[in-house]
């Protein structure tokens, strides 16, 4: 699929995002009450399934065709020593994804999900791998302490490619649920800048240790985020209402963040639940929500990362994470585990017997879960 | 398998429990450091896999043969109106398990686990079901506000049957991990009494809403637990060191709790990780740990239930739950989800490529996860 007019594709996709189907969600909740269990006893899994019913507009959604998109790119800001790993690790890890040796390969398989790996803009060329989608929108984004990460047309292109990717996957093997993951040395610096710009929080409070950096590198990273925001005004740290998602991506983002933002928009427009992983895929969700706030209703937060910027992101998006396992790897690992829980929640809703079907007496109390 | 001398079988099983293999756990941790991810970035999944390595005495444990034991029994204390459901629901739900319509059937299948259903002592006979293990140690336990739940020899028998069950399953299809679940109207009252006796906490603080009872029933339930403890001294509420697990089970327990306690002991003696579900299977773990404290090293806490007695139990056992999803159903539902996470953690440890294998450069910092 060639994209003639990326900006138009983004606008069309955003405009197609309708609110979740409240009626389907209500019917799912009503069905939950008739299943052979005390009301509310499956806790958050009940609310999760009802939410996915609203997203998919189906009383009993089935999440059989599962996809994890892992988008990778390099970042010019890596030159400031903000990561514990050298830049060539991005390409090496993408090769590891293609070879099936990374954590996301294991956890996607565990979740029954296929993996789509995207070279959105890695510096080094990645050998082999028919399964690798080679977008290569640049040889890494530019150093965001010196100016924008990329020209605005390229930001549009990155998002549009994410939209096209999900459309192609839906047309191909089909997608009932999608998780979003990332790879990119120094991309937690770009993500922290996005989080600071969107939430208005000070860079220090949303900057974390990423792959595991020492105090010296951490201080350098905070300064780098501050500089990136100052240089790329109007998305400065004091901004509290960043509504131009494309401009935000162009100024302090990255190619993989743009592709993931496009995946979120396309998922929401197609009533596909989209599962956020950690800091970087969360920052991509912020970009998507800046373009079209309605995307929020289609997002599921899989886990709370150890990265402070991730908690700020989830609060901004008003999403409660399903898991708190101190994951901070990225790649979509938390999203894959989150898909596992979404599948469990929807299977319970779909497959459990009702009191009537099973011939089980219902409660002699009428008690709501909140009582 | 007939059990000639239940007390001797319990003693033999308890004596066979050795500490987890610290060397295997250390080798697993050492392997984690060489896998293609920043150190510690898989968070609690890394610690979980290392712990299971210690339990199984294998550097790379494989949890392929998965079992959930669901033990059911009735409780004489149900006559005090402590549940929102009538007593016949126990038998009806066991029939639902046999027919495959309950939440545990769905979640065990989701976890790739088989389910072994046990009628440990349900009042009504359950129709059909070759897969149902009919122990029927009594037609429900006795009313614990009037005297002991069961004679001591029957408590020994219940535990020994749990030991024999796990041995038979190991000899049959094999067991790499086992989860423990329960069913029994009013069994959260018995479990609260066990938790109060073992932890020394006031009955009110460890008594919950069970299936979802109103304030009137809740007050009745607290009084019932208090009476059960007073009548069945020496396991009164003020006791803080209940070391006679068999006596504890006989005085305020239940048949299904005894069977699950036996499963825990047998699992620990065979180096099989045993996953606790909610309040009732947690109380069974307290009984097992009272018999042999070494069982603690083989237990995995799947989730934190909404029941307050469950949190007290996990604190007493020094176990941190993997999930907090407000589940309060029992049946082994949380345990099945916990098995899913154990499998994920062990697959990551076993299947991920090392830096060397994947040709990925390692960190140029040496940073521990805590730094």
Q: Which helix (H) or strand (E) segment is A346 a member of?
A: helix A333-351
Interface A:B, Cβ pairs < 8 A: 206
Instruction: Tell me the chain A residues in contact with residue B212 when contact means C-beta distances shorter than 8 Å.
Output: 38-41, 363, 365, 367, 369, 371
Please confirm, yes or no, whether B331 is among the known catalytic residues.
yes
Interatomic CA distance for residues A337 and A332, integer angstroms: 9
> Which pLDDT score is estimated for B210?
81
A33 pLDDT more than 60? yes
Is the pLDDT assigned to residue B368 strictly greater than 70?
A: no
Instruction: State the average pLDDT over residues B104-113.
Output: 98
- Identify the pLDDT of residue A60: 98
User: Model confidence over B37-76: pLDDT tens digits?
Assistant: 999 999 999 999 999 999 999 999 999 999 999 999 999 9
* Percentage of chain A exceeding pLDDT 70: 95
- Do A285 and A264 form a contact (C-beta atoms < 8 A)? yes
Share of chain B above pLDDT 70, in %: 95
Distance of CA B157 to the CA centre of its chain: 18
List, as ranges, residues 202-261 from A with C-beta within 8 Å of B.
Answer: 209-214, 217
Q: What is the mean pLDDT of residues B197-205?
A: 94
Instruction: Given the residues B46, B125, B331, B357, select the one marked as catalytic.
Output: B331
Which DSSP letter does residue A172 get? T
Query: What number of other Cβ atoms are within 10 A of residue B220's Cβ?
Result: 15
pLDDT at residue B218 tops 70? yes
Catalytic residue among A30, A331, A356, A370: A331
DSSP category for residue A274? E
Rounded CA-CA distance A252/A235 in Å is 9
Least confident of A71-75, B124-128, B147-151, B234-238: B234-238
Asked if A310 is an interface residue toward chain B (Cβ–Cβ < 8 A), one would say no
Stretch 66-95 of chain A: residues touching chain B, C-beta under 8 Å: 84-86, 88-89, 92-93, 95
Instruction: Decide if B42 and A353 are in contact by the 8 Å CB cutoff.
Output: no
Answer whether A57's CB lies under 8 Å from A341's CB: no
Whether B113 and B179 have beta carbons less than 8 Å apart is answered as: yes
- Is B34 in CB contact (< 8 Å) with chain A? no
A-chain residues near B353 (CB < 8 A): 96, 99, 101-102
pLDDT score at A210: 81
3-state SS, one letter per residue, for chain B: CCCCCHHHHHHHHHHCCCCCCHHHHHHHHHHHHHECCCCCCCCHHHHHHHHHHHHHCCCCCCCCCEEEEEEEECEHHHHHCCCCCCCHHHHHHHHHHHHCCCHHHHHHHHCCEEEEEEEEECCCCCCCCCCEEECCCCCCECCCCCCCCCCHHHHHHHHHHHHHHHHHHHHCCCCCEEEEEEECCCHHHHHHHHHHHHHCCCHHHHCCCCCCCCHHHHHHHHHHHHHHHHHCCCCCCCCCCCCCHHHHHHHHCCHHHHHHHHHHHHHHHCCCCEEECCHHHHHHHHHHHHHCHHHHHHEEECECCCCHHHHHHHHHHCCCCCECCCCCCCCCHHHHHHHHHHHHHHHHHHHCCEHHHHCCCCCCCCCCCCC
Q: At what angle do helices B22-34 and B44-56 cross, to 10 degrees?
A: 140
Q: How far is CA B147 from the centre of its chain?
A: 26
Res. B196: pLDDT tops 90 = yes
pLDDT over 90 at A240, yes or no: no
Contact (Cβ atoms closer than 8 angstroms) between residue B258 and residue B248: no
Task: Say if the Cβ atoms of A344 and B44 lie within 8 Å.
Answer: no
Query: Does ipTM surpass 0.85 in this model?
Result: yes
A301 forms beta bridges with A276
Token look-up 């890394």 returns B46
A81 vs B contacts (CB less than 8 Å): none
Residue A329 in contact with partner chain B when CB distance is under 8 A: yes
| Residues A181 and A332 sit within 8 Å (Cβ to Cβ) | yes
CA distance A223 to A237: 12
Residues of A within 8 A of B324 (CB-CB) are: 324
pLDDT band at A1 (very low <50, low <70, confident <90, very high): low
Average pLDDT over residues B109-123: 98
Residue of B44, B217, B357 lying closest to A101 (CB–CB)? B357
> Are B85 and A363 inside 8 Å of each other by CB?
yes
Average pLDDT, chain B: 93
Give pLDDT, residue A239: 41
Edge-to-edge order in the sheet of strand A274-276: A132-134, A113-121, A66-73, A177-183, A274-276, A299-301
User: pLDDT tens, A306-365?
Assistant: 899 999 999 999 999 999 999 999 999 999 999 999 999 999 999 999 999 999 998 765
Asked if B306's CB is within 8 angstroms of A92's CB, the reply is: no
pLDDT at A237 over 70: no
Whether B108 has a pLDDT exceeding 70, the answer reads yes
- CA A353 to CA A138: how far, in whole Å? 53
Q: Kindly give, in sequence order, each residue whose CB lies less than 8 Å from that of residue B14, ignoring residues fewer than 6 positions away.
A: B265, B269, B291, B292, B294, B295
Which residues are bridge partners to A276 per DSSP? A180, A301
- Using CA atoms, how far apart are residues A333 and A327, in angstroms rounded to an integer? 8
Residue B84's CB is within 10 A of a number of other CB atoms, namely 22
With an 8 Å Cβ cutoff, is B127 touching chain A?
Answer: no
Which candidate from B41, B209, B340 shows the least CB-CB separation from A340?
Answer: B340
All residues of chain A having their beta carbon less than 8 Å from the beta carbon of residue B356 are: none
Model pTM above 0.90: yes
**A84 to chain B: which residues are within 8 Å by CB?**
38, 363-365, 367
Question: Closest residue of B to A354, CA-based?
Answer: B101
| Element at A72 (helix H, strand E) | strand A66-73
Query: What pLDDT shows up at residue B234?
Result: 55
Q: What is the DSSP letter of A129?
A: -
**Closest residue to B40, CB basis, from A85, A95, A212:** A212
Tokens of B185: 């109207």
Which of A360, A366, A369 has the most B C-beta neighbours within 10 Å, making it the best mutation to test the interface with B? A360
Please give the Cα distance from A319 to A313 (Å, whole number): 9
**Nearest chain A alpha carbon to B106:** A348
**Closest C-alpha among B38, B336, B50, B346 to residue A106:** B346
Mean pLDDT of B130-150: 95
pLDDT class for A130, splitting at 50, 70, 90?
Answer: confident
User: Nearest CA to B262 among B289, B294, B235, B280?
Assistant: B289
- List of residues 6+ apart from A32 with CB closer than 8 A: A39, A42, A46, A49, A50, A349
Q: Which of B280, B288, B275, B287 is nearest to B309 (CA)?
A: B280
Do β-strands B299-301 and A66-73 pair in parallel, antiparallel, or remain unpaired?
unpaired
Q: What is the pLDDT of residues B149-168, one digit of tens each?
A: 999 999 999 999 999 999 99
Sequence-distant (6+) residues with CB within 8 A of B265 are B10, B13, B14, B17, B159, B162, B163, B288, B291, B292, B295
> B33 at the A interface (CB within 8 A)?
no
Using the 8-state DSSP alphabet, how is residue A272 labeled? -
The residue length of chain A stands at 371
The answer to whether the Cβ–Cβ distance between B86 and A361 falls below 8 Å is yes
List the single best residue of B123, B212, B221, B322 to mutate versus A (max A Cβ within 10 A): B212
State the average pLDDT over residues A86-99: 96
Contacts of A96 in chain B (CB under 8 A): 36, 353, 358, 360
User: Is B361 within 8 Å of A116 (Cβ atoms)?
Assistant: no
Considering only CB atoms, which chain B residues are within 8 Å of A93?
A: 36, 360
Q: Give the minimum alpha-carbon distance from B44 to chain A in angstroms, rounded to a whole number.
A: 5
Flag whether residue A63 sits within 8 Å of chain B, measured between CB atoms: no
CA distance B281 to chain A (A): 16
**Cα separation values, A176 from A55, A265, B52, B310, Å:** 11, 15, 33, 36
Residues 337-356 of B with CB under 8 A from A: 337, 340-341, 343-344, 347-348, 351-353
What is the side-by-side strand order in the sheet with B299-301?
Answer: B132-134, B113-121, B66-73, B177-183, B274-276, B299-301
Is it the case that residue B260 has pLDDT exceeding 50? yes
- B365–A213 CB contact, under 8 Å: yes
Residues of B within 8 A of A38 (CB-CB) are: 84-85, 210-212, 328-329
CB contact set of A85 (below 8 Å; sequence gap of 6+): A185, A211, B38, B361, B362, B363, B364
CA distance B245 to B261: 9
The residue-averaged pLDDT of A248-256 equals 96
What value does the CA radius of gyration of chain B take, rounded to a whole number of Å? 20
pLDDT of residue B365: 54
> Smallest Cα–Cα separation from A159: which of A235, A76, A247, A263?
A263
* Closest by Cβ to B102, choosing from A36, A38, A341: A36
pLDDT at B367 over 50: no
The residue whose two tokens read 């009732």 is B280
């Amino acid at each position: 699929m060639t994209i003639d007019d990326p900006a138009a594709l983004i606008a069309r996709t955003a405009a197609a995002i309708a609110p979740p189907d409240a009626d389907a969600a209500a019917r799912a909740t009503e069905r939950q009450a008739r299943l052979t269990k005390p009301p509310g006893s499956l806790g958050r899994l009940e609310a999760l399934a009802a939410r996915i019913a609203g997203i998919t507009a189906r009383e009993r959604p089935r999440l059989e065709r599962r996809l994890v998109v892992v988008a990778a790119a390099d970042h010019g800001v890596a030159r400031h020593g903000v990561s514990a790993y050298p830049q060539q690790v991005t390409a090496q890890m993408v090769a590891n994804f293609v070879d099936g040796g990374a954590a996301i390969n294991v956890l996607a398989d565990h979740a029954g999900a296929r993996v789509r790996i995207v070279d959105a803009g890695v510096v080094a060329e990645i050998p082999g791998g028919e399964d690798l989608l080679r977008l290569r929108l640049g040889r890494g984004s530019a150093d965001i302490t010196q100016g924008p990460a990329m020209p605005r047309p390229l930001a549009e292109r990155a998002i549009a490619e994410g939209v096209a990717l999900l459309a192609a996957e839906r047309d191909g093997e089909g997608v009932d649920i999608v998780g979003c993951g990332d790879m990119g040395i120094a991309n937690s610096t770009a993500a922290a800048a996005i989080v600071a710009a969107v939430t208005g929080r000070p860079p220090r409070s949303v900057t974390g240790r990423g792959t595991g950096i020492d105090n010296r590198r951490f201080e350098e990273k905070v300064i780098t985020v501050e500089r990136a925001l100052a240089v790329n005004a109007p998305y400065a740290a004091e901004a509290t209402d960043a509504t131009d998602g494309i401009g935000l991506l162009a100024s302090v983002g990255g190619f993989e963040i743009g592709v993931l933002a496009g995946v979120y928009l396309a998922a929401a427009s197609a009533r596909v639940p989209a599962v956020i992983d950690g800091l970087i895929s969360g920052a991509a969700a912020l970009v998507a929500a800046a373009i079209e706030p309605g995307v929020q209703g289609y997002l599921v937060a899989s886990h709370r990362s150890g990265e402070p910027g991730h908690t700020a992101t989830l609060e901004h998006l008003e999403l409660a994470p399903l898991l708190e396992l101190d994951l901070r790897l990225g790649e979509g690992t938390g999203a894959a585990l989150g898909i596992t829980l979404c599948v469990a929640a929807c299977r319970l809703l779909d497959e459990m017997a009702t009191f009537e079907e099973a011939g089980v007496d219902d409660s002699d109390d009428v008690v709501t879960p909140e009582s």
